Chains A and B, each alone.
Chain A
Amino acid sequence: MLKQTEGSRAVAEAVALCRPEVICAYPISPQTHIVEALGEMVKDGSLAPCEFINVESEFAAMSVAIGASAAGARSYTATASQGLLYMAEAVYNASGLGLPIVMTVANRSIGAPINIWNDHSDALSQRDSGWLQLFAETNQEALDLHIQAFRLAEELSLPVMVCMDGFILTHAYERVDMPTQAQVDAYLPTYEPRQVLDPADPVSIGAMVGPEAFMEVRYLAHAKQLQALERIPAFAAEFRQIFGRDSGGLTHTYRTEDAETIIVAMGSVLGTIKDVVDEMREEGHRIGVLGITLFRPFPIARVREGLQGAKRVVVLEKSMAIGLGGILSTNVRMALSGLHMHGYTVIAGLGGRAITKKSLHGLFREAEQDALESVTFLDLDWNMVNKQLEREKAHRRSGPVAENLLRDVGVVAARNY
C-alpha cells in the first residue's frame, strides 16, 4: 500500500510486519523515532506477542537482544553513533555467538566533537565485527532491507545491521510502498534457531575456546559471510517475486555502460549523485554510478565486474580512515587490485555537511581531467584549517580545536588569539 510517511515510521512498520518478539530500546538520535513507533505498537497491542524493553544503555540493549535471541526469540534493536560504540563489545559478541539479531543503525557521526548529523563513521567502525551490513539508498529500500535482513540473519544465523542515513532518511517524509502482512509472512518463515537455550536439550553457549580451535571458529565466521555473498542475490530475487520490486542485493549500477568515470558510493547520497550524472550525461559526459548496498560481506567480485571497464573510479564516502584516507575506497581498491586505472578517494559529508549537486558537478569534472588529489576532502574550508594550524604553531596553549573553529566562524563570541 502506498503511503506518505516518515522514514523511521516506515522502518518501524516494516519491522513490525516481521513479527519481532523482543525489542530493546535506548534513546539516541536519530534512531529514536523507530523504537518509539514500535513501542507504541507493542503497548496498544497491535504488535503481539512482543516484549518491548526500555533498557539503561545501548550495551544493555544489545545484551538483552543476545539473551532473547539465544532463547529463541526474534530480536531487534536500533542505535546510532555513540550508542553503537557503547555497545561494541556486545556487537562483536552477538556475531561471535552466531545470533541472528537485526539492528537498524541510523547513521550518525562519532565525536568528539559531538555532532548528531549524518555520516557513516558509526557503522563502518564495526565493519570487522562479523555483522552483515546493508546500506539503504532510499526509505523504500530501508524498509525492504529490514524484511530481507530478518530472512538473511535467520537463514545464516548471523546478525545483520541495516544502515540508513540519519535524518536524511530517518526523518524524511517520502512515499513508500508498505507491504502487506501476507507478503511478509510468505517471505519470512518462522524463526527456527540453530542453537537455543532449552531445558529439554541443554547446551552451553559461549564457552571458552583456546588456540586449539579459535582460528577455525573465526574462519567459519568468514566462511558464513562468504555464503551470505552467494545467497543474497537469491534472497533479493525472491523478494522481487513476492513484493514486485528490486531492493537489496549486492550493488546497483546506474548508467555505467560505456562509462569512463564511475562514481562509487553508499546510502542516500546516491540520489544526488545520480541526478548529477543524469545532467552530465545530457552534456555528453561518459559517467556512471556504482551503488554499494552490501558493505559486509564486501562484494569484491561484483565491484570489480562493475568497475573494470572504467578509466577512473571515484569513491565518494561519508567516512574516513584517519591517517590513511578512505574506508570504502580501501575496500574498493582491493576489488580493483591489478587493474590499471585512476582511483580517487573523496571524503564528503562528514558530520552532516551537505553534499550539493554544485560541488559534485565540479568534483566530477575535475576527476574527468584527472586533476583530483588521490584523497580529496569535498568542500573543506582550508582557511579554517590553516588558521588553526597557524594558531598551534604560535601558541603552546592553543585551546580546544572545536571551540577555536567555532569562534573563527563567529558562532562563539569569546576571546580571540
Chain B
Amino acid sequence: MSFQPVKFYQTGTFTVGNRLLPPEERSVQASAKRYNSINSGHRACQGCGEALGARYAIDAAMEAADGQIIAANATGCLEVFSTPYPETSWQIPWIHSLFGNTAAVATGVAAALKVKGKRDVRVVAQGGDGGTTDIGFGCLSGMFERNDDVLYICYDNGGYMNTGVQRSSATPPAARTATTMAVGPEPGNVFGQGKFVPAIAMAHDIPYVATATVADLRDLEAKVSRAMEIRGARYIHILVPCPLGWGTASHDTIRMARLAKETGIFPVFEAEHGEIKSVLTIRRPLPVEEYLRPQKRYAHLFGKNPAVETIAHIQALADRNIRKYRLEARQGSH
C-alpha cells in the first residue's frame, strides 16, 4: 500500500523540522554528537552566511570521515574570524597559509597522507569567492586537473568582504561594491563580466561538483556527505549571503539565500564527471526584484526612477539559468 508520509515544515520555510523526524533522518547538525568543528565564540558578523555554511559543511565532512579531517583555509573572512589572535575556533587540524594557494596546500597535505598510508584521513580546502575564483584560481585549476584527493569548498558571498566589500569575479552584475560604485550612467558591477566557477570546475571533468546555499542546509549536508564518498578532486560552491556586503538584515541571511535560489539567480545542482545529475527545482517562482529589493547593494536600482532595464536584464539572466539548468518545477514534484 502506498502512502504519503506526512512532513512537518517549519513556518515560512521548506525545511522539515528535525525533531519531528526519526533520528536517522535528522541532520548532522541536529545531533547532540555533532563535532562542532568550528566552535562558538568566533568573531563573524551577526547573520554571517559563511560561518553558517562552514559549520554545516565541515561538521558534515567530519561525520562522513569519522572525525578524520584536515582543513586548509584561504586568507579571508573565515580565516580571520575563526583565528583571531590568541584564539582559534577550530577543533580540527587546520592550516592557513596564504590567500591564493589553498588548493595547493591541500594537495600537499593529501600527498603527505598518501605517502604515509593514512587513507582514512581526508582533506578539505576552503576559501571565499575571492580566494577561490580570483587569486586562488590557478592553484584550484591545478588541483582539479591533477584530480588530487581534496574536497574544495567555496563560500561565495560575491565579493571581498574582509577587505571592505570590493568586487570579485563572483560579484553579480549591477551590484554595488567599493570598487563597482553606484555612480555614473551604469552604476554597480558591469554586465557581461565575472565567472561561474562551478561550470569551470565541471569542465575539468572532476568526479563531483555541486552548488548549495545556506537556505537548504539539509541539501548542503547531503552534498558534502556525497562528496566525501568519492575520491579525487571535488568542488562544492555554497552561496553565503553577507549582511555587511549585501546590505541586508542579519536575520535575513537564510531568506536571501532562498530567494537567490527561488528566483533562479543562483542555480543549485550537482554534477558528476561534468554532467549534471540533479537540480533543486524552484518551488514558487519569484521575480528577481523580490531578491534584489531588500539588498542595499542594489538600492540604486530602486530609487524614484527604478532601473527597469537593468532589472529586466538581471531577470533575463535568471531566466537563462532556469532554462539552462532546468530549474522549473516539474508537475507533481516538490
Enumerate chain A interface residues (CB-CB to B < 8 A). Answer: 21-22, 24, 49-51, 53-57, 59-60, 62-73, 75, 89-90, 93, 97, 197-199, 201-210, 212-213
Contacts and interface: CB of A to CB of B under 8 A. Distances in A.
B95 A70 contact: yes
A93 B98 contact: yes
Interface in B88-108: 88, 90-98, 100-101, 104-108
Contacts of B90: 202, 204
Interface string B154-194: 00000000000000000000000000000000000000000
A24 to B, nearest CB: 8
A63 B88 contact: no
A50 B115 contact: yes
B68, B73, B109 pick with most chain A CB within 10 angstroms: B109
Interface of B: 67-70, 72-73, 79-80, 83-86, 88, 90-98, 100-101, 104-117, 121, 138-139, 141-142, 145-146
B314 to A, nearest CB: 35
A197 B118 CA distance: 12
A77 B80 CA distance: 30
B139 A198 contact: no
Contact of B94 (A24, A93, A204): A204
Contact of B83 (A22, A64, A71, A204): A204
A73 B98 contact: no
B241 to A, nearest CB: 24
Contacts, number: 162
Give the 3 A-B residue pairs with the shortest CB-CB distance, closest first: A67-B108, A71-B112, A56-B142
Contacts of B111: 22, 51, 53, 64, 67-68, 73
A51 B96 CA distance: 22
B75 to A, nearest CB: 9
Contacts of A89: 98, 100-101
B92 A199 contact: yes
B74 to A, nearest CB: 11
Given A49-B115, A209-B85, A68 B95 contact: no
B97 A97 contact: yes
Contacts of B85: 207-210, 212-213
Contacts of A54: 146
Nearest to A59: B101
Contacts of B70: 71, 197, 199
Contacts of B93: 197-199, 201-203, 205
Contacts of B108: 22, 24, 53, 63-71, 73, 75
B98 A90 contact: yes
Contacts of B101: 59-60, 62-63, 66, 89-90
14 contacts: A21-B112, A55-B104, A55-B142, A59-B104, A60-B107, A66-B108, A67-B72, A89-B101, A199-B70, A201-B93, A202-B94, A203-B93, A204-B95, A208-B83
A210 B86 CA distance: 9
B94 to A, nearest CB: 5
Contacts of A93: 97-98
Given A202-B90, A206-B96, A67 B79 contact: no
Contact of A205 (B84, B94, B98, B110): B94
A96 to B, nearest CB: 9
Contact of A206 (B95, B113, B121, B142): B95
A203 B79 CA distance: 14
A208 B79 contact: yes
Contacts of A66: 95, 97, 101, 105, 108
A60 B115 contact: no
A56 B139 contact: yes
A205 B95 contact: yes
A35 to B, nearest CB: 15
Contacts of B86: 212-213
B119 to A, nearest CB: 13
B109 A68 contact: yes
A198 B118 CA distance: 10
A204 B105 contact: no
Most buried by A among B111, B113, B114, B142: B111
A39 to B, nearest CB: 14
Given A63-B104, A212-B85, A68 B94 contact: no
B216 to A, nearest CB: 29
Of A60, A65, A213, chain B has the most CB atoms within 10 Å of the CB of: A60
Contacts of A70: 95, 105, 108-109, 112
A6 B117 CA distance: 34
Contacts of A97: 97
B88 A73 contact: no
B97 A21 contact: no
Nearest to A48: B115
A56 B108 CA distance: 13
B105 A67 contact: yes
Q: Which of A49, A67, A72, A205 has the most CB of B within 10 A?
A: A67
A142 B226 CA distance: 49
In this complex, the member of B68, B72, B98, B112 whose beta carbon has the largest number of chain A beta carbons within 10 angstroms is B112
Contacts of A201: 93
B97 A67 contact: yes
B83 A199 contact: no
Q: Which of A75, A203, A208 has the most CB of B within 10 A?
A: A208
Nearest to A196: B93
A203 B93 CA distance: 5
Contacts of B139: 56-57, 59-60, 63
B96 to A, nearest CB: 4
B116 A73 contact: yes
A197 B95 CA distance: 8
A18 to B, nearest CB: 14
A67 B95 contact: yes
A63 B141 contact: no
- Interface-central residue, A55, A204, A213, by most chain B CB under 10 Å: A204
B112 A60 contact: no
Contacts of B91: 202
A197 B111 CA distance: 13
A49 B240 CA distance: 41
Residue with the greatest number of chain B CB neighbours at <10 A, chosen from A24, A68, A201, A203: A68
Contact of A64 (B68, B80, B104, B145): B104
Contacts of B84: 208, 210
A24 B95 CA distance: 19
Report which residue of A62, A201, A212 has the largest number of chain B beta carbons within 10 angstroms of its beta carbon: A62
Contacts of B145: 56
Q: Which residue, B67, B108, B142, has most C-beta atoms of chain A within 10 A?
A: B108
Contacts of B67: 199
Contacts of A198: 93
Contacts of A71: 70, 108-109, 112-113, 116
